[in-house]
Structure 1
Amino acid sequence: MSKNYQNLVMQAIKPFAVGALLAVSISGNAQTMSHAEETELSLQPYKATYTAYKWGDDVGEANIELSNLGNQQYSLIYTSKVSKFFLSDKRSEHSIFTVNEDTVVPSEYYYNRSGTGPDKELKVTFSQQGQGKIEVENGETFDWNGEFDNQIYRIDLAKQLAAGKKSLDYNFVNYRGQLRHYGVQVVDKEVLSLPFGKVEAVKVKLIRESKKRETFAWFAPSLNYTLVRLQQFKDGDEQGDIKLKSFEIL
């Protein structure tokens, strides 16, 4: 198999393998709402399964599961397994966090990737001791200024969308252990036809500094603003599309 051919195939499966696509890579701090605008943060454990598409083909599956660990502590797990031709990619992200007075507080974040190409692992710890630190295992240590990890933005974003917010800003630590900032802009409301069925959803656009990539995500109010579809483009070409297949309250 030639190197060019392998690179082409990796581009086919990479968008779905990276948790950054499913998680939209925007975990972070939302703009502060006034007390009157606040919406109670009520977390309902669930499991959502998605089908990943590339070039019109089903290339794999992804899952998100939210669990209650007790004492206001929760677990959010993302997994994906995709393959195309001779290549494969398997990834997982695991966030442990607490909810303190309707505020999502990250505690630990784990990332793992295996398959074609180099395997990767990452652990990030958010310490509240002293002024607060973010410690990346075998990496940098940052002052913690309220940043989230790479995926628990979904918990906060659901609250913000339910409150009617149209524009949000997020700071986070990505799956590479780097500090990043993105924005979220509500675009419209649409009725989607998904493997799950027809769902009305709020469409948002991820705002990056780089203009090469465009990412759109859809969240369904009827499913507690769970992510139901995500589509990404690079230089105008679609990189991938994931769609909700099943949703289960746990």
Structure 2
Amino acid sequence: MIKNFQNLVMRASKGLVSCTLLTLSLSAMAQDSQSDTLSLTPYKATYTAYKWDDDVGEASIELSKLGNNQYSLLYTSKVSKFFLSDKRSEHSIFTVNDNTVVPSQYFYDRSGTGPDKALKVTFSHQGNGKINVENGNTFDWNGEFDNQIYRLDLAKQLAEGKTSLSYDFVNYRGELRHYGVEVVDNETLSLPYGKIEAVKVKLIRDSKKRETFAWFAPSLNYALVRLQQFKEGDEQGDIKLKSFTEL
């Protein structure tokens, strides 16, 4: 019985973190009305993670500017339930060129209950372009994003009124993936941050076992304010905005 309970909690913890990794990286973003250049506003957002209606941890996203057109996007999370724990981080280094987010390097690290994992992905723009996964595969680069920064473009597209989108990217396992995104509703949410109007979207995968919904707030330049994921009808995690600060 104890072993079965441990397995149940482990699946819940993994589902919660997978949920955050899929969508916890949208930035505060605005389109400069005087030019065609993408304008990113540095910020920090914090989130509370819930499972079984309990507070099981926290996550944060921080966007900072490194230099001319170069940025850093850092995601961290730490969740625990009873004797199980999971700590993760994703770090993207990228540039903005001609109104497009261009990946440079991506780092992923995971520790806690179960096997630890680390990954580094480098995007080379020389010649025809390559994606190099450290200790893994090498792919031709055809404009794919990394696991985080495709969501920066998503925020921009939502601000422009788009309702159906698709993205190709390299996930945190070093695999090529394709997701669709569809706007499904507009809702008023009550969050630890407070009440806020948000656009609800659904992530479209090839697999029908998982469903992911995310909410983005126009008043915060379409930053992520809530994330909820289900697997075969069972809720795996619910992530809600706690604080948001422009830097």
How far apart are 1:24 and its partner, in Å? 2.5
How far apart are 1:26 and its partner, in Å? 10
2: CA distance between counterparts of 1:6 and 1:228? 30
1: CA distance between counterparts of 2:24 and 2:85? 25
1: CA distance between counterparts of 2:115 and 2:201? 33
2: CA distance between counterparts of 1:231 and 1:39? 33
2: CA distance between counterparts of 1:236 and 1:8? 15
Aligned identity (percent) is: 79
Q: Determine if contact 1:47/1:247 at 8 Å carries over to the other structure.
A: yes
Matched, 1:184 2:181: yes
From the superposition, tell whether residues 242 and 154 of structure 1 become closer, same or farther in structure 2 (CA, over 3 Å). same
Gaps spanning 5+ residues in structure 2: where?
26-34
Q: Which residue of 2 aligns with 1:57?
A: 54
Q: TM-score, normalised by structure 2?
A: 0.93
**Paired residue type of 1:206:** L
The C-alpha deviation readout for 1:166-221, integer Å capped at 9, x for no partner, is 10001010000000001000011111100000111110000011111100000111
The C-alpha deviation readout for 1:85-143, integer Å capped at 9, x for no partner, is 10100000000000001100000000000001111000000000110000000000000
Q: Determine if contact 1:97/1:105 at 8 Å carries over to the other structure.
A: yes
How far apart are 1:13 and its partner, in Å? 1.4
From the superposition, tell whether residues 26 and 84 of structure 1 become closer, same or farther in structure 2 (CA, over 3 Å). closer
SS at match of 2:39: coil
1: CA distance between counterparts of 2:36 and 2:186? 20
- Which of 101, 104, 108 is matched with 2:105 structurally? 108
Q: Determine if contact 2:182/2:203 at 8 Å carries over to the other structure.
A: yes
From the superposition, tell whether residues 26 and 57 of structure 1 become closer, same or farther in structure 2 (CA, over 3 Å). closer
Query: Cα RMSD (Å) of the superposition?
Result: 1.6
- Which of 112, 119, 122 is matched with 2:119 structurally? 122
1:32-181 mapped onto 2 (5 Å cutoff): 40-181=37-178
Q: Determine if contact 1:93/1:112 at 8 Å carries over to the other structure.
A: yes
1: CA distance between counterparts of 2:196 and 2:23? 24
1:186-205 mapped onto 2 (5 Å cutoff): 186-205=183-202
Q: Which residue of 2 aligns with 1:32?
A: none
**Paired residue type of 1:65:** E
Q: Which residue of 2 aligns with 1:225?
A: 222
Q: Which residue of 2 aligns with 1:11?
A: 11
Gaps spanning 5+ residues in structure 1: where?
28-37
Q: Determine if contact 2:96/2:102 at 8 Å carries over to the other structure.
A: yes
Q: Which residue of 1 aligns with 2:238?
A: 241
The number of equivalent residue pairs is: 238
Moved over 6 A (4+): none
How far apart are 1:39 and its partner, in Å? 6.7
From the superposition, tell whether residues 167 and 220 of structure 1 become closer, same or farther in structure 2 (CA, over 3 Å). same
2: CA distance between counterparts of 1:39 and 1:5? 54
**Paired residue type of 1:229:** R
**Paired residue type of 1:82:** V
